[in-house]
Amino acid sequence: MGSPDGNSQAFQLRLRTGRRVAGIKDDLVTDEIRKNFASDNVSPACPAVMEAMMHANDGCVGSYGDDAVSRTLNARFGDVFETEVMVFPVVTGTAANSLALSALVAPYGAVLCDQSAHIGNDEAGAPEFFMHGAKLITLPSADGRMNPEAMRTGLRLNAQGGILKPPIQALSLTQATEWGTVYALPDIAHLCAIAHEHDIPVHLDGSRLSNAIATLGCTPAEATWKSGVDVLSFGGTKCGAMAAEAVVFFVNERTRPALKDFERRIKRSGHMWSKARFLSAQLLALLDDGLWLKNSAHANAMAQRIVDGLRRHAGVQLPFETQGNEIFVIAPDRLVEELAAAGYAFYRWPTPEGVSGTLIRLVTSFYTRAQDVDALLDEIAA
Amino acid sequence: MGSPDGNSQAFQLRLRTGRRVAGIKDDLVTDEIRKNFASDNVSPACPAVMEAMMHANDGCVGSYGDDAVSRTLNARFGDVFETEVMVFPVVTGTAANSLALSALVAPYGAVLCDQSAHIGNDEAGAPEFFMHGAKLITLPSADGRMNPEAMRTGLRLNAQGGILKPPIQALSLTQATEWGTVYALPDIAHLCAIAHEHDIPVHLDGSRLSNAIATLGCTPAEATWKSGVDVLSFGGTKCGAMAAEAVVFFVNERTRPALKDFERRIKRSGHMWSKARFLSAQLLALLDDGLWLKNSAHANAMAQRIVDGLRRHAGVQLPFETQGNEIFVIAPDRLVEELAAAGYAFYRWPTPEGVSGTLIRLVTSFYTRAQDVDALLDEIAA
Amino acid sequence: MGSPDGNSQAFQLRLRTGRRVAGIKDDLVTDEIRKNFASDNVSPACPAVMEAMMHANDGCVGSYGDDAVSRTLNARFGDVFETEVMVFPVVTGTAANSLALSALVAPYGAVLCDQSAHIGNDEAGAPEFFMHGAKLITLPSADGRMNPEAMRTGLRLNAQGGILKPPIQALSLTQATEWGTVYALPDIAHLCAIAHEHDIPVHLDGSRLSNAIATLGCTPAEATWKSGVDVLSFGGTKCGAMAAEAVVFFVNERTRPALKDFERRIKRSGHMWSKARFLSAQLLALLDDGLWLKNSAHANAMAQRIVDGLRRHAGVQLPFETQGNEIFVIAPDRLVEELAAAGYAFYRWPTPEGVSGTLIRLVTSFYTRAQDVDALLDEIAA
Amino acid sequence: MGSPDGNSQAFQLRLRTGRRVAGIKDDLVTDEIRKNFASDNVSPACPAVMEAMMHANDGCVGSYGDDAVSRTLNARFGDVFETEVMVFPVVTGTAANSLALSALVAPYGAVLCDQSAHIGNDEAGAPEFFMHGAKLITLPSADGRMNPEAMRTGLRLNAQGGILKPPIQALSLTQATEWGTVYALPDIAHLCAIAHEHDIPVHLDGSRLSNAIATLGCTPAEATWKSGVDVLSFGGTKCGAMAAEAVVFFVNERTRPALKDFERRIKRSGHMWSKARFLSAQLLALLDDGLWLKNSAHANAMAQRIVDGLRRHAGVQLPFETQGNEIFVIAPDRLVEELAAAGYAFYRWPTPEGVSGTLIRLVTSFYTRAQDVDALLDEIAA
């Protein structure tokens, strides 16, 4: 499958001007093999996003979100998600998660989430900061996907603590999960139903939601509110933006209280851009013509290409099913060192107990091409 | 004085390609009069900044600031400020101020500042949030510039409160002030000396520092650390960036403790960009060839042009000396309504006691041209 | 007027047993002149309170407030205040004020209060801590009593700030005020009406409410909810308790949301006593037979005795009307030094501008006897 | 072993006066069997403590800890612990734990503790509140006693997270543990050594330290600082006080920074009593003649009496060794119901997986007499 980052207009421009227009890269220009599989946030922004920011850099407009570009966000996201939404762009996923949770949970409350959740492992305590000390109560799982019975048990044990235990006031799920797995929609719906049964709203960390939607072949609505999700952290940076995420509220009885004063929370955390159109423009560019989903479908395909290749290699194991764009591999230490020496970038995960070798993670993005995957597989085979 | 936003390269490009390159605007293209004087953050980003972001969109680099562009920040700022600095880019001035203060002040402490300070009036309580409840203790002044005797009295009265009063652990000054005035450097130095005498570090809100430097004709070093400033909120967005500010620590005994774990504070507040090079690139573009100072010198000149014109108009008063790029005008209500009706944007400030008419604020930027000023003055005269 | 701390039962006991029962003091026992006028919290607990704690020390009872003594609090306070209340005992006034405000104000909000308020001057930032960074917005006044026009102006200016300014979500008044003055009830009612007009609930810091009620000759109901007060910090320690205060909610539409999870807030701040009956017993002892009001009426009388005496002294001024149990005196420095040298304890207040001499504060309590006042006046006359 | 709450002086007094002196109970007076085994905080205060509070109710003294009684705390605790200490009395264990940890851990930091720790299970999130959002990182254990290898692993995994994970800045151990077990001193020393190796100070939750000391037969110094403990939450309420705990700092290089401004933290949380002598008096009464240890030795003995009796009963299991004053019993549901019906009070703990019956907890105190234990055992046997 070819890369979606080609830009025929840029190519044309180059031919005529004889010089490369900064940033609007033509992949034909670079023959270099791309070796950075550390994350989907190491890539550049995709050209459509950069162009949109250029177009947005047009004259004076009201600041603080009161501009034409920003105003279309609710409408456009509403189209894509097929329901009434309120959209609040912010610059990082950490800010999106933390702001969303702070609007759902009192300082004396708690959030229920999987043990692997990004909010509990990779955000330096940001959710607890924004929530003024509220706790994260975590449940272990086999592969990042929360089990409904474990959820019921967790809710019951916590409630038994009476006033000695912070009350659980939000459920936070991650789709696709931090272990690269994807919940089937009925499973999301089941967990949301249990939460709602307990008057608990549901937040979805959708940093890689687009990868999950691409995998499931469902609609954005089916992946979220139709399955019971109340608030979504919409991830843009990992599927092509420069820096753009959004807190998306699906307007209903559970979210109305959370929406109150939400803009004050954003301003108070230093996350309100004066030139907000530059955030909004990136998001609109991603939604345009489903670019966000195309970018992620491509990333998923590249991930499967890697998986197919690895399956032919005897020495490695794949502890989790690769259902998105993250591939977890347990490889012999020697192979891992050789890959690193060859210039490949990837994270080494703490190896599970009783396993020899090193657990590493490879991540693909819209920027990963077939030749890059093939080169990686060749290196591994060697 | 001509506008510094011309771009001969863009002009060349346009001539050759026959089409306007998105975002790299040629001011010759637009004849429209610009009427938005509401703030210096309504303007577009200046072309050099947008170009720099385009160049930064180049292949995969390490995320989280571990990229070549970001690594040059300390060196480049060090050159400009002629001393050892640690630079931390963030996306808004509110975040810069709040993060800086949180590293200087314990949750049980307090910050001393002027009554007009942005941190106490326009940041929705962000400093108090980041400082976990620490207080702002404000001193009134005639025009935004703190008086040393008032400062000594404020420190003394607070200390007399013993443990009943949060101890003042930082002094925050604004240069240029919120009322558009500029401290003379000996005055900054005097206030910093009093602070240091009390073991209190000094933070400078430099959202419009470039305007002050342009007015004073001093060096960045003289405007800051040589006058006793320990930490600076470096403002980029108001002098041409898309969205870029930085917390700049001047490394010394007072700032070493504050530097500890500063990156953790940034991450924890959701302000760490994965693609950090896009923040850094904007800052480096502004420092390049003193563009930040040129942009602000131009803005100041446009402001003086407005002031000169207003002085010829009988019906308005200028309550504060215009020393930067903000002009405060008390104008008859009727004139104010007419300006608004004519499409001009500006803030209406609460009018001081015992004054008739409305206090408004006009702000110029690098994007304000002589013809825009003249059109405004014509409208006022009419 | 005699002291109410006589205890005929103790006297009888002493006669029969030939030994003094620890703590149940007979004032006839002590001839020593009492010289500590620093505060009404330097006195011992009054005998009825100590006896009540002894009686409460009876066998095992459920902890955490689930005991017979604690359960009668709502009923007993309900009788005294003639309405439905929810009462939450805590050990300090700072905790009562801070907990009450934290239930009314969001972290991104603000409290409106007088510049002299205890919450803003003497609680080390506790309200801001409990409210997670919410701000106190203060209004100046002549004598601690808020002016309704200043209040309307303060509300209007703050609202004009839009999302840049934390919204005022509670009004906190102090009765009697920190300057020893007492609001007339119609004035309290007026301020409460303005607050309610803006959907803002009213908190009353009633650390010295009993002194105000004694002065006004009104009922507790008239002093509080009938005048519009929604939540009261009931002060016990200053009118005879060992250490006992309470947050008293007058149950209505404004307070129902604040009551939600209030016990969780108390537990979370370390203020929930396992042996809660010892807190409750003190409060019930104070309410019994109106002891709290009798103690305060006596304190007020002793304060008036001081005032009458001081009026005969040429060299001192009384800048505020003494309407409770606090007397503010501007006395010549020499006199102040002599009083201190003679063993008298009192606070020296920062002297107002342009006044010579020192501003001191004398405070009376149930423990102040006529002979103690007379001795003080003699010392001053000498 | 006889109960230490007899009071021959009270008995004498009763005989002579013909009436019972409130609070100074003679156990001969009550024949009623005591059935409340829910906690050691359901008991009354022991007589010596109540007497001490009576004696402290003596005239006017300076408030805020500046009184003779309070000043002796450091000296007296210094004697008992055989080293230089700084003692800060507070009213609850939750406040002691939370204040201590807030002085050791930055808001962006974390505390390492056992999964069973009171701070993480029974304090409604108070530590997180006082620490402004810092996290508790918990390690599972078999019986509440942390394993050194698990500790090393926990430290290593957390450090690998770099700035994505809050840095562990304190270790909190509980002695005796929440499961009623007692660490051997070399085990405490080992854990402290690992912590100090990582520049991490050690906090000990000593709510039941006296029970542990009684069990170990060691000195207070050996149980704490000689084993590496830096800060202690000294528990008084469970061994005889009305309501009194203390944060005890063992003065050394690790604790000096934490001591800075500690009183401000106390005031700011509403935990500074104006009549502080009433807190101090309770603590001094407990230390007097080792009363705290005698009370706990008695409680331990009563617990062993229960254990000995239960061992003769076929139908119950004791999942944890009873090394203090808490006995955990897994009993058949029917027996548990019968005990409850017979008026016995006790907590039902969540039963471990795969076990039939109910896990309950019985707690003894200084107030538990041999006849009370025997009656309980009879009831169980029946």
Looking at chain B, the whole-number percentage of residues with pLDDT higher than 70 is: 88
Distances (CA, A) of A190 to A187, A209, D89: 5, 18, 50
pLDDT at A58: 76
Cis peptide before A176 (omega within 30 of 0): yes
pLDDT class of A4 with cuts at 50, 70, 90: very low
Tens digits of per-residue pLDDT, B117-143?
A: 999 999 999 999 999 999 999 999 999
Tens digits of per-residue pLDDT, D38-91?
A: 998 888 999 999 999 999 887 665 555 566 766 799 999 999 999 999 999 999
Tokens representing A152 are 């019921």
Please name the helix (run of DSSP H) or strand (run of DSSP E) that holds residue B151, with its range, or none: helix B148-160
pLDDT class of A14 with cuts at 50, 70, 90: very low
Looking at chain C, the whole-number percentage of residues with pLDDT higher than 90 is: 81
pLDDT class of B25 with cuts at 50, 70, 90: very low
Cβ separation B163–D108 shorter than 8 A: no
Determine the Cα–Cα distance for residues C138 and C119; give it in Å rounded to an integer.
10
As a whole number, mean pLDDT of residues B292-300 equals: 96
* Mean pLDDT for all residues in chain B: 89
Tens digits of per-residue pLDDT, A65-112?
A: 566 766 799 999 999 999 999 999 999 999 999 999 999 999 999 999
pLDDT at A92: 97
| Residue D270 near chain B (CB below 8 Å) | no
Cβ separation D167–B263 shorter than 8 A: no
pLDDT at C60: 61
Residue B61 predicted with pLDDT over 50 = yes
C224-228, long-range: CB < 8 A, 24+ apart: C224/C81, C224/C250, C225/C81, C225/C83, C225/C250, C225/C252, C227/C185, C227/C188, C227/C189, C227/C192, C228/C188, C228/C189, C228/C191, C228/C192, C228/C193, C228/C195, C228/C196, C228/C202
Query: What are the DSSP E strand ranges found in chain B?
Result: 85-90, 110-114, 135-139, 168-174, 202-206, 231-235, 245-250, 326-331, 347-349, 358-363
* Mean pLDDT for all residues in chain C: 89
pLDDT at C349: 78
Which residues in chain C are closer than 8 Å to B157, comparing Cβ atoms? 350
Cβ separation D45–C57 shorter than 8 A: yes
pLDDT at D235: 96
| Residue C236 near chain A (CB below 8 Å) | no
* Test mutation, D58, D268, D365, chain C, max C CBs within 10 A: D268
pLDDT at A349: 77
Cβ separation C261–A167 shorter than 8 A: yes
Cβ separation B23–A57 shorter than 8 A: yes
3-state SS assignment for residue A222: helix
Tokens representing B72 are 């040059």
pLDDT class of A41 with cuts at 50, 70, 90: confident
Which residues in chain C are closer than 8 Å to A158, comparing Cβ atoms? none
Cβ separation C264–A108 shorter than 8 A: yes
* Phi, psi at A258, each rounded to 5°: -70, -30
Which residues in chain A are closer than 8 Å to B208, comparing Cβ atoms? none
Nearest CA to CA, how far is C237 from chain A (Å)?
27
As a whole number, mean pLDDT of residues D336-347 equals: 94
Residue B307 predicted with pLDDT over 50 = yes
| Residue D310 near chain C (CB below 8 Å) | no
| Residue A31 near chain B (CB below 8 Å) | no
pLDDT at C64: 52
Least confident of B70-79, D13-22, D36-45: D13-22
pLDDT at D13: 34
Q: Which range in A308-317, B15-24, C56-65, C173-182 is most confidently predicted, on average pLDDT?
A: C173-182
Q: Which of residues 185-214 of B touch A (CB under 8 A)?
A: none
Which residues in chain B are closer than 8 Å to A5, comparing Cβ atoms? none
Tens digits of per-residue pLDDT, A233-268?
A: 999 999 999 999 999 999 999 999 999 999 999 999
pLDDT at D60: 61
3-state SS assignment for residue B217: coil
pLDDT at A18: 30
pLDDT class of A280 with cuts at 50, 70, 90: very high
* Phi, psi at D345, each rounded to 5°: -110, 135
Which residues in chain B are closer than 8 Å to A244, comparing Cβ atoms? none
Residue B289 predicted with pLDDT over 50 = yes
| Residue D244 near chain C (CB below 8 Å) | no
List residues bridging with D360 in a β-sheet: D329, D348
pLDDT class of B68 with cuts at 50, 70, 90: confident
Burial class (CB in 10 A: 0-12, 13-18, 19+), D134: buried
Residue C223 predicted with pLDDT over 60 = yes
State pTM to two decimals. 0.92
* CATH pick for A47-290 out of 3.90.550.10, 3.30.1650.10, 3.40.640.10, 3.30.830.10: 3.40.640.10
Determine the Cα–Cα distance for residues D333 and D349; give it in Å rounded to an integer.
12
Tokens representing D91 are 């009213």
Cβ separation A121–D165 shorter than 8 A: yes
Q: Could you tell me which chains touch chain C, where touching means 3 or more CB pairs under 8 A?
A: A, B, D
Residue D209 predicted with pLDDT over 80 = yes
Tokens representing A42 are 């190491």
Cis peptide before B195 (omega within 30 of 0): no
Cβ separation D108–A125 shorter than 8 A: yes
* Largest separation between any pair of C-alpha atoms in chain D: 73
Cβ separation D128–A129 shorter than 8 A: no
Domain at A291-381: CATH code: 3.90.1150.10
Nearest CA in chain C to B348: C160
Tens digits of per-residue pLDDT, B1-13?
A: 222 333 333 333 3
* C36 DSSP 8-state letter: B
The 10 Å CB-count burial string (b at 16+, else e) for A66-101 is: ebebbebbbebbbebbebebbbbbbbbbbbbbbbbb
Nearest by CB to residue D133, choosing from A121, A122, A133, is A133
C229: alpha, beta or left, given left = phi > 0 and alpha = psi -120 to 50?
Answer: beta
Question: Is the dihedral angle over the CA atoms D70, D75, D77, D83 positive or is it negative?
Answer: positive
Kindly give, in sequence order, each residue whose CB lies less than 8 Å from that of residue B101, ignoring residues fewer than 6 positions away. Answer: B111, B119, B127, B130, B131, B134, B170, B172, B203
Tens digits of per-residue pLDDT, D126-158?
A: 999 999 999 999 999 999 999 999 999 999 999
| Residue B347 near chain C (CB below 8 Å) | no
Tens digits of per-residue pLDDT, B248-277?
A: 999 999 999 999 999 999 999 999 999 989
As a whole number, mean pLDDT of residues D232-247 equals: 96
Domain residue limits, chain C: 47-290, 291-381
Neighbours of C17 (CB within 10 A): 14
Write out C210-265 in H/E/C secondary structure.
HHHHHHHCCCHHHHCHHHCCCEEEEECHHHCCCCCEEEEEECCCCCHHHHCCHHHH
| Residue D106 near chain B (CB below 8 Å) | yes
Nearest CA in chain B to A131: B129
Cβ separation D60–C50 shorter than 8 A: no
Cβ separation D264–B108 shorter than 8 A: yes
pLDDT at C354: 78
pLDDT at D67: 64
Which residues in chain D are closer than 8 Å to C363, comparing Cβ atoms? none
pLDDT class of C157 with cuts at 50, 70, 90: very high
Tens digits of per-residue pLDDT, A104-148?
A: 999 999 999 999 999 999 999 999 999 999 999 999 999 999 999
Residue B352 predicted with pLDDT over 90 = no
pLDDT at C27: 41
To 10 degrees, the CA torsion angle through C129, C278, C51, D57? -40
As a whole number, mean pLDDT of residues C175-189 equals: 97
Neighbours of A204 (CB within 10 A): 30
Cβ separation D108–A124 shorter than 8 A: yes
Neighbours of C75 (CB within 10 A): 11
Q: Could you tell me which chains touch chain D, where touching means 3 or more CB pairs under 8 A?
A: A, B, C
- ipTM confidence: 0.91
Residue A150 predicted with pLDDT over 70 = yes
